[in-house]
Amino acid sequence: MDRLASGVKGEVFTPDDPEYEAELAGFNRIARHRPSLVVAAVDPDDIVDAVRFAAAEDLPIGVQATGHGIAAPAEGGVLVGTRRMNAVRVDPAARIARVEAGARWHQVISAAARHHLAPLNGSSHLVGVVGYTLGGGLGPLGRRYGYAADHVTRIEVVTADGLLRTVTADRNGDLFWALRGGKGSLGIVTALEFRLMPVRRLYGGGVYFPAESAARLFDTWREWTGTVPESMTSSVALLRLPDVPAVPEFLRGRPAAHLRIAFAGSAEEGERLVRPLRAVGPALADTVDEMPYAEVPRIHQDPTEPLPYHERNIVLRDLDREALDTLMAVAGPESPNTDLVVELRHLGGALGRPAAVPNAVSGRDGSFTLATLSPPGSPDRVLGPMARWGTGRRYLNFLAGPDTADAAADCYTPDAYARLTRLKALYDPRNLFRLGHTVPPAP
């Protein structure tokens, strides 16, 4: 350990150090890493040293940027913290962004907006760019442009042999396929490059409805999704938020339904498209309007303070009336499951087509994702009854909590998963990178 600490430019912490706890504190507090060592990396060489140390000592190694998607908490081993590696650079002429391992989406959104460009970020601007993208990346521009992973052009990654590799479609192409969708099973990414979209403004925001309008909203939205263009990405959610000052007063301690709209088109056309949903009934609040893309986080209004939560999901093949009735029975305002947030996201469009450069992202045959967020100790009472409308797939980025650690196989087609296990056997045969949604090496 002394050799490691003297070799890296960043710091190395053990459980005896006062900085240890603060270094491990991630956004999702459902679980907590307890590694033997934490390497607070400041550059790729630090990550190389950490991986070589873990390999020499035969220790598992994981990585944490923001800690939104914790799944397999470290008990011993080595954890690499990347939050200090957060540089972002935008090339407006090439429409390319380059980000380091610990960058967050708000940095890219701001840097790209200065050039009238937009990244394929997620609903939360505080999520780490790399983990989100490697898991697929399903965001507010998804139906128009596809998954974030589909637009990655270059990856710099440290593999289990301690080599820093440059990975593109033409160089280490098998690894390029696997990393885009395979999350963190094959190495620690030190930097990403990806394309930006020519989006300057959106017609977007949220409409909040009282609980008594939830069933009608979901049913109207279900039919409406079959009529909208690919430039419309939307979701609906059932919210049950606590009675605390951080929550808007009209949502505190009461169930509500939340419609989320992101239309990459004119405000006039957006207003016409959303009109049938506004007609569902009186709203508690309506923030849908034309906005600069830099304000995209206000569409979903995701939490900004750390909290503990399980996140689970399935991909739905379709959503007929019976499916919606079942969902309302197990998760609606009158159901006994009063501690859940439930969200349906509309897929299709570019999300349903293969990437121009193939990758491991699966589940493209789904029509919707159904995700639940619940507090610690809460069992899944929603996804089981809805499984008969599912494709058999899950979406990797919407899985958090220790009970999701072994769910990676459900996130891929059988062929894609088999290929990932073969590549895992090639690049990480000892399964050093197993502190997350890991893919085991093929025999």
Please tell me whether residues 127 and 193 are part of one structural domain.
Answer: yes
Q: What is the pLDDT along the chain (443 residues), one digit of tens a residue?
A: 888 988 999 999 999 999 999 999 999 999 999 999 999 999 999 999 999 999 999 999 999 999 999 988 899 999 999 999 999 999 999 999 999 999 999 999 999 999 999 999 999 999 999 999 999 999 999 999 999 999 999 999 999 999 999 999 999 999 999 999 999 999 999 999 999 999 999 999 999 999 999 999 999 999 999 999 999 999 999 999 888 888 889 998 889 999 999 999 999 999 999 999 999 999 999 999 999 999 999 999 999 999 999 999 999 999 999 999 999 999 999 888 777 899 999 999 999 999 999 999 998 999 999 999 999 988 899 999 999 999 999 999 999 998 898 899 999 999 999 999 999 999 999 999 999 888 999 99
User: Final residue of a domain: which of 48, 81, 114?
Assistant: 81
Sign of CA dihedral 409, 415, 418, 423: negative
Q: Where are the beta strands (DSSP E) in 297-390?
A: 310-316, 341-346, 368-374
- Single out the residue of 137, 136, 171 nearest to residue 157, CA to CA: 171
Q: Residue 115 is part of a domain; what is its CATH number?
A: 3.30.465.10
How many Cβ atoms sit within 10 Å of the Cβ of residue 321? 10
In a domain, 430, yes or no: no
Q: Are residues 43 and 105 in the same domain?
A: no
- Residue positions counted in the chain: 443
In degrees, rounded to 5, the angle at the alpha carbon of residue 269 between the alpha carbons of residues 264 and 272 is 125
Residue that terminates a domain, selected from 81, 101, 122: 81
Q: Please tell me the predicted confidence (pLDDT) of residue 417.
A: 97
Residue 420 lies in a domain: no
Q: In what order do the strands lie in the sheet with 96-100?
A: 88-91, 96-100, 188-195, 152-158, 164-167
**Residue that the structure tokens 């193939």 belong to:** 358
Residue 247 has what pLDDT? 87
Which residue is listed with tokens 């200090």?
A: 84
| 84/64 Cα distance (integer angstroms) | 11
51 domain residue, yes or no: yes
Q: Is the same domain home to 74 and 35?
A: yes
- Is the residue at 313 inside a domain? yes
Within a domain: residue 159?
yes
Q: Are residues 106 and 130 in the same domain?
A: yes
Residue 315 tokens, joined:
């991909």
Classify the phi-psi angles of 250: left when phi > 0, otherwise alpha if psi is within -120 to 50, otherwise beta: alpha
The helix or strand, by DSSP H or E, that contains position 79, with its residue range, turns out to be strand 78-81
CATH code of the domain in which 229 resides: 3.40.462.20
Provide the pLDDT for residue 322.
97
pLDDT at residue 321 in the model: 95
- CATH number of the domain residue 68 falls in: 3.30.43.10
Are 140 and 211 within one domain? no
Q: What is the pLDDT of residue 336?
A: 82
Same-domain check for residues 209 and 352:
yes
Domain residue limits at 105? 88-198
Handedness of CA 387, 388, 389, 392 (dihedral sign): positive
Q: How many structural domains are present in the chain? A: 3
Does the residue 213 lie in any domain?
yes
* H or E segment to which residue 232 belongs: strand 232-240
Q: Is 402 helix (H, G, I), strand (E, B) or coil?
A: helix
Provide the 3-class DSSP secondary structure of residue 49: helix
Long-range contacts, stretch 241-249, CB < 8 angstroms, 24+ apart: 241/341, 246/303, 246/305, 248/285
- Please say which residue of 144, 174, 198 terminates a domain: 198
Q: In this structure, are 112 and 67 located in the same domain?
A: no
- What is the distance between the terminal CA atoms of the chain, rounded to a whole angstrom? 32
Give whole-number Cα distances, 59 to 1, 6, 264, 297, 435, in Å: 13, 19, 47, 38, 11
**Look-up of token digits 């270059």:** 154
Assess whether 129 and 146 both reside in one domain.
yes
Residue 439 lies inside a defined structural domain of this protein: no
For 315, the 3-state DSSP assignment is: strand
Same domain, 152 and 218: no
Do 324 and 247 sit in the same domain of this protein? yes
pLDDT at residue 189 in the model:
98
362 within domain boundaries: yes
Q: Do 211 and 122 share a structural domain?
A: no
Q: DSSP label at 100?
A: E
Cα angle: 69, vertex 74, 80; to 5 degrees = 75
| Same domain, yes or no: 255 and 387 | yes
Cβ-count burial 87-112 (b if 16+ within 10 Å, e if not): ebebeeeebbbbbbbbbbbbbbbebb
Kindly report each contact of residues 241-246 with a partner whose C-beta sits within 8 Å and lies 24 or more positions away, as own/partner.
Answer: 241/341, 246/303, 246/305
Tell me the H-state helices in 25-73: 44-57
User: Which uninterrupted H or E stretch holds 75?
Assistant: none
